[in-house]
A and B are shown apart, each in its own frame.
Chain A
Amino acid sequence: MSRPKTPYVAPEERAVPDLDSGKYLVMWQGPNHPGITGNMSLRLVIEGDSVVDCETHVGYLHRGFEKLMERRLWMQNFPLVCRIAVPEPDFNEYCYAAALEELAGIEVPDKAVWLRTLSLEMIRLASFLMWIGGQAGAFGHGTIAQWSVTMRDYVLDLFEELSGGRIYHMYIIPGGVRADVPPGFLRHVLETMTVVEQNLKDIELVMFHNAVMKMRAVGLGYIPPDWVDRYGITGPNARAAGFKRDLRKDRGYLAYPRLSFEPVVGAESDAFERARLRLAEMFQGIDLIRQIVDFLPSEGPFRERLPNPLHWKIPAGETYVAAECTRGEYGFYVVSDGGDKPRRVAVRGPSYTHAVSVMERLVRGVNIADVAGLMVSLHTYPPEIER
């Protein structure tokens, strides 16, 4: 399947279909729909088989985190933040902890820095494994989801060993990490990585050399490079369009400057390219985890002593801390007024742009059977849109 020389790009202005003409059908996809990632809905106007217009509707998972966080002490917020994005809670924890440390002027011990990096890379791998199952499922390959979700479970087992939690780890606390590595943990990490890598090779063989996948994904959801700045696209979606942008390199937070890796960059910017790029990032992630296990210091403290959380007042100030999560730039904007509670915490989730503005324009002209596949290929996750 070859790509068209000039891929179709939907115009910026929305068409205004005459819904009374009998030519169009208004159809809601979601929230009760197995192909939609998470709990959100699309209001599609379709003509025949193709989508003419799309409106996204979010808010089914709105819990009011940002309001709740203003009501809680700095430390009480810490079990709350990880629940903002369910498949990868550690990025929330890291961004929140790093923002607090920056405002309060706390230095994190070196071992905690490495353990944080390990935790972030492991959850990145787990989240990608979840995603690849969804992507394959959206194109009709149920088997790959069976494999990859099981592999993700093995990674979650590592988290359970490390932190005691399967989904919510609450591992990266302000000042360091909550616990040291248990004995034998690093050996388990390496063993699991071997298994996962072997399985990923199988997935690559089955999924990326598959005629159905190629016919459906090649050319689907083309993102022109000039959209990247126009719509604030970040992460693998931007890298697949040829932008070498990776906050792990650009910001150089945690131990990433001390690891050897190069951001994976694509060119074709369609669903197939994005999937291929994410697979390459999974292999890269396995490599990074092996490097981290090599470098991890065996001695030293793993957290800084913090003041009594009841009286912990953080000096007035504001900061914005961003990290590269699987979907792009994940950031926390924290404002302190010098009190024992935050003045304002705002979360910047990458899906905010990908699932709303980009999705609405990208989906126009797409065949209705491909809408779910397109949505998964943007790797959107609704809870971080509405918080």
Chain B
Amino acid sequence: MSDKKGKPVPLANEGLPPGERGLFCDAPPREYAPAAKIVEDFWNWARSQSLWILGFGTGCGAIELRPLMTSRYDMYRFGIQPRPTPRQSSVFVIGGYASVKTLKRIVRSYEQMMGPKFVVALGSCTINGGMYWDSYNTIKRIDQYIPVDVYIAGCMPRPEALLAGFQELKRIIRAGKAEGQNLYARDFERYKANQKRVIKDWNMPDYNW
């Protein structure tokens, strides 16, 4: 990550108690500056071949990840494997509807992931609310709060659909079009404002890298 725009304004970390503010990062995320084309192409190829997904089952879509991990569908043969911690993973699979309480954890986990990072959202409920369109506790569009690279429609999407979605993600990464992380850095204020509008007790740092 290189710093193109000079020193950014430090974040206020307003959700935290004053004594703890200094303990957390106050630098907003920065956009990724690509290297020379041939080098970047190689890197993108390498990135697309090892997708490590975060093992955070955020909704009912998580139940189809289990067959995907095991021998019948076996996503390991595509270079995809689950990781237990956000620090080691590059793909965040949003498994369906996100309640407000989960959204807070999603935002936090997403920010903790190292770049380059990608988001795959499953199910119609992440796209437009789906079956829970009138629920008081589930958000309707996940891309208001974190950027999404690939949507996989369905309720639930089948394991084959998931595999196809991952192949699509690979194609996007290889083409250098997986811009979610940069989008988040570019529109950081908008995303933060959206998140804070929904999550009422914001007691987390503004950005926890």
Contacts and interface: CB of A to CB of B under 8 A. Distances in A.
Please determine if A and B sit in direct contact within the complex, based on CB atoms under 8 angstroms apart.
Answer: yes
Helix, strand, loop or mixed for chain A's interface? loop
Contacts of A167: 60, 63-64, 156
A145 B70 contact: yes
A149 B156 contact: no
B86 A64 contact: no
B66 interface: yes
Given A64-B135, A153-B72, A83 B60 contact: yes
Nearest to A152: B67
Interface stretch (B9-17, B26-34, B49-57, B177-185): B49-57
Contacts of A147: 71
B20 interface: no
Contacts, number: 90
Given A34-B55, A60-B105, A64-B137, A80 B131 contact: yes
Contacts of A63: 97, 99, 132, 135, 137-138
A62 B82 contact: no
B208 interface: no
B190 interface: no
Interface of A: 31-34, 38-39, 59-64, 67-68, 71, 79-80, 83, 86-87, 130, 133, 145-147, 149-150, 152-153, 166-168, 383
A147 B67 CA distance: 10
Contact of B131 (A34, A67, A83, A152): A83
A32 B109 contact: yes
A227 to B, nearest CB: 29
A67 B70 contact: no
A146 B73 CA distance: 11
A39 B70 contact: no
Given A83-B60, A153-B72, A31 B135 contact: no
A57 B71 CA distance: 33
Contact of B102 (A31, A33, A86): A31
B134 A68 contact: yes
Interface in B107-142: 109, 131-132, 134-138
Contacts of B82: 34
B186 interface: no
B155 interface: yes
Contact of B101 (A38, A59, A68, A87): A59
